Chain A
């Protein structure tokens, strides 16, 4: 026998291994518990909420004033604020991010890439409060002084622009990763028939990397939808059903923060309303996340 461990020792070793494996499994399964906890809490409090408020009214009413004496609970203004800020953010981040991704992946030298990519990732390390500060005290005055003199101090536009800057790394970096994963053989084939680098990038590489880029976009959208502090600081906290980003508006997230800052008694309708709003938010981002997960699986399998 090469090993000098007795059968008894081996048996105890196997027992220890089983215990360790069980512990590791518990740690992994805890993530499921977290999700269950989130869903549980949101559903529980929302159920309470919807006992007092009709679901139909919730989804269709155009005014959100839960803290008034005559409260109205239409989620549309909040949804609208969320969507508006996300659209503005995308309008900033999508063209910039994609262009940057194409440039970094197809044109930039490795040295340039090695310096700029990490720098771009630093953008996502800036705390959102600081971004809010930036939006309120730099972007808004800048816009007011240059192209939009009548811009109110609180507005969705500045918030949206700053959120766009914040999600830029998502789009640029993840899209660039997706494009870099496209095999060189495809590029070579295109270049060999006389296409320019630019044409190759746009007509061959981009389409090939589509799932990865789509996944990047979906993740960025999810991030923008869930953003809280930038809008809470810079967009004002007035729910407002509008499609004009130059007005102040509130998002779902900003509303939750506003209520939390106040002092709502546990169990009151105002307290429960933040869970109902949170449930809507969770369902939105859940959809996006699952979509992104599926898209990423697809692009990983393609190679």
Chain B
């Protein structure tokens, strides 16, 4: 026995070798083992559901994934319907969205991290961004409906749709930019300041380039989110049966470029899928499944790229 034992023939409590204690410890050990199993199952359950989702989609929609499907317009006949107008619409809208959200979002992120003083106004802006990130997407649709479509008269156009989604993903870009800037080590900043660089020179020449991969990750995630959004676009009146493409921006007469397409009607991939799901009858269901597969490939693909980028970043920047 140890020297701390009070008496030789009376074992101290810490070394109680009784049955009761052994049973208790066995119970505790078993609880832990049970939890390890339960925990693993719980963790994987979500992924199991995702797999079931993908498998189900593929089974229903795979037969419809043909080249025709990708290049046809929607049609009243299920077998001839395609997603051409839908993915072109998605593409054009994303163009508008990123053109607005990325400059504004990155600029806002730079301001909040590099320039903003610690005062009331900055707090208000921060709470604002945090709140906007959690506002349901349909509210952005209502905002756009009241303010843009009717208030400013921009109508049910690609421009309105792009602008609405830009406002939606703005918080994502701002947060991603801030985190990317925050992860740049302060020694880099000190070196630049010590050489006599102005605030903007420090940001433009050193901080931003270092933060670029993180910002890019945020842009990709934001784009993926915007591509999958349905509710706000329905609210501002996306048309669900579009059998034409917007006017091409390149033309053969001067001035050779036009922006008519910005003001025209549109549909997007998720709305097309939604439209087909809502139709009674199983023929369109296959189409819906196929459109969903395309959408899923794009969004999961983008998300995967972003996650991979972020993992590579974290490994590289072991400051």
Chain A residues within 8 Å of B, Cβ to Cβ? 2-3, 13, 16-17, 20-21, 23-25, 27-32, 34-35, 37-38, 40-42, 44-45, 95-96, 99-100, 102-104, 107-108, 114, 116, 118-123, 125-134, 136-138, 165, 168-169, 172, 196-199, 219, 222-223, 225-229, 232-233, 253, 256-257, 260-261, 266, 274-275, 278, 281-282, 285-286, 288-290, 292-293
Whether, in the assembled complex, B65 has its beta carbon less than 8 Å from a beta carbon of chain A, the answer is: no
Contact between chains at A127 and B289 (CB < 8 Å): no
C-alpha gap A184/B56 in the complex (Å):
43
Which of B130, B133, B150, B311 is within 8 Å of A266, CB to CB? B150
Given contacts A25-B111, A130-B53, contact A31 B170 (CB under 8 A): yes
Q: Which residue of B lies closest to A24 (CB)?
A: B111
Contact between chains at A227 and B49 (CB < 8 Å): no
Given contacts A129-B273, A223-B134, contact A122 B304 (CB under 8 A): yes
Binds A, one of B2-10, B72-80, B135-143, B242-250: B135-143
Please indicate the chain A residues that have their CB under 8 angstroms from the CB of B234 in the complex.
257, 260-261
Contact between chains at B228 and A127 (CB < 8 Å): yes
Which of A24, A114, A123 is within 8 Å of B50, CB to CB? A123
Whether, in the assembled complex, B12 has its beta carbon less than 8 Å from a beta carbon of chain A, the answer is: no
23 CB < 8 A contacts A-B: A27-B108, A31-B128, A38-B139, A40-B147, A103-B35, A103-B43, A120-B47, A126-B296, A127-B296, A127-B299, A138-B52, A198-B28, A198-B32, A219-B134, A226-B138, A227-B136, A228-B230, A233-B277, A256-B142, A260-B141, A261-B234, A275-B146, A293-B130
Q: How many whole Å from A197's CB to the nearest CB in chain B?
A: 6
Q: How many whole Å from B28's CB to the nearest CB in chain A?
A: 5
Whether, in the assembled complex, B193 has its beta carbon less than 8 Å from a beta carbon of chain A, the answer is: no
Please indicate the chain B residues that have their CB under 8 angstroms from the CB of A130 in the complex.
53, 57, 228, 273, 292, 295-296
Contact between chains at A41 and B45 (CB < 8 Å): no
Q: How many whole Å from B218's CB to the nearest CB in chain A?
A: 14
The 9 closest A-B pairs by CB, nearest first: A226-B136, A103-B39, A127-B228, A27-B107, A125-B303, A41-B146, A24-B111, A99-B42, A228-B231
Contact between chains at A122 and B300 (CB < 8 Å): yes
Given contacts A32-B128, A116-B47, A133-B57, contact A288 B134 (CB under 8 A): yes
Contact between chains at B227 and A102 (CB < 8 Å): no
Binds A, one of B184-192, B196-204, B254-262: B196-204
Extra pairs beyond A100-B39, A103-B42 (16, CB < 8 Å): A24-B110, A27-B107, A31-B170, A34-B143, A42-B142, A44-B146, A100-B45, A114-B311, A119-B47, A120-B43, A125-B300, A128-B228, A130-B228, A132-B277, A256-B231, A257-B235
Given contacts A32-B124, A99-B38, A196-B29, contact A17 B198 (CB under 8 A): yes
Please indicate the chain B residues that have their CB under 8 angstroms from the CB of A99 in the complex.
38-39, 42-43
Please indicate the chain B residues that have their CB under 8 angstroms from the CB of A253 in the complex.
136, 138, 231
Contact between chains at A125 and B138 (CB < 8 Å): no
Interface mask (B13-47 → A, CB under 8 Å = 1, otherwise 0): 00000000000000011011001101110111111
Please indicate the chain A residues that have their CB under 8 angstroms from the CB of B302 in the complex.
125
C-alpha gap A137/B146 in the complex (Å):
35
Contact between chains at B230 and A127 (CB < 8 Å): yes
Please indicate the chain A residues that have their CB under 8 angstroms from the CB of B300 in the complex.
122, 125-126
Which of B44, B227, B277 is within 8 Å of A133, CB to CB? B277
C-alpha gap A77/B235 in the complex (Å):
21
Contact between chains at B43 and A104 (CB < 8 Å): yes
C-alpha gap A207/B26 in the complex (Å):
25
Q: How many whole Å from B257's CB to the nearest CB in chain A?
A: 27
Contact between chains at A31 and B39 (CB < 8 Å): no
Please indicate the chain A residues that have their CB under 8 angstroms from the CB of B44 in the complex.
116
Contact between chains at B235 and A125 (CB < 8 Å): no
Q: How many whole Å from B126's CB to the nearest CB in chain A?
A: 9
Which of A44, A45, A197 is within 8 Å of B32, CB to CB? A197
Q: How many whole Å from B207's CB to the nearest CB in chain A?
A: 13
Please indicate the chain B residues that have their CB under 8 angstroms from the CB of A274 in the complex.
142, 235
Q: How many whole Å from A14's CB to the nearest CB in chain B?
A: 8
Please indicate the chain B residues that have their CB under 8 angstroms from the CB of A30 in the complex.
104, 108, 170
Q: Which residue of A lies closest to B291 (CB)?
A: A129
Q: How many whole Å from A132's CB to the nearest CB in chain B?
A: 7
Contact between chains at B228 and A278 (CB < 8 Å): no
Q: How many whole Å from B303's CB to the nearest CB in chain A?
A: 4
C-alpha gap A294/B110 in the complex (Å):
23
Q: Which residue of B lies closest to A259 (CB)?
A: B235
Whether, in the assembled complex, B91 has its beta carbon less than 8 Å from a beta carbon of chain A, the answer is: no
Given contacts A31-B132, A282-B135, contact A229 B147 (CB under 8 A): no
Interface mask (B80-92 → A, CB under 8 Å = 1, otherwise 0): 0000000000000
C-alpha gap A168/B46 in the complex (Å):
7
Given contacts A27-B111, A103-B42, A120-B46, contact A129 B167 (CB under 8 A): no
C-alpha gap A21/B134 in the complex (Å):
28
Q: How many whole Å from B154's CB to the nearest CB in chain A?
A: 14
Which of A165, A233, A289 is within 8 Å of B131, CB to CB? A289
Which of A44, A95, A136, A225 is within 8 Å of B136, CB to CB? A225
Q: Which residue of B lies closest to A45 (CB)?
A: B146
Q: How many whole Å from A189's CB to the nearest CB in chain B?
A: 18
Chain B residues 225 to 245 lying within 8 A of chain A, measured CB to CB, are 225, 227-231, 234-237, 240
Which of A25, A138, A289 is within 8 Å of B53, CB to CB? A138
Q: How many whole Å from B239's CB to the nearest CB in chain A?
A: 11
Which of A24, A44, A222, A229 is within 8 Å of B231, CB to CB? A229
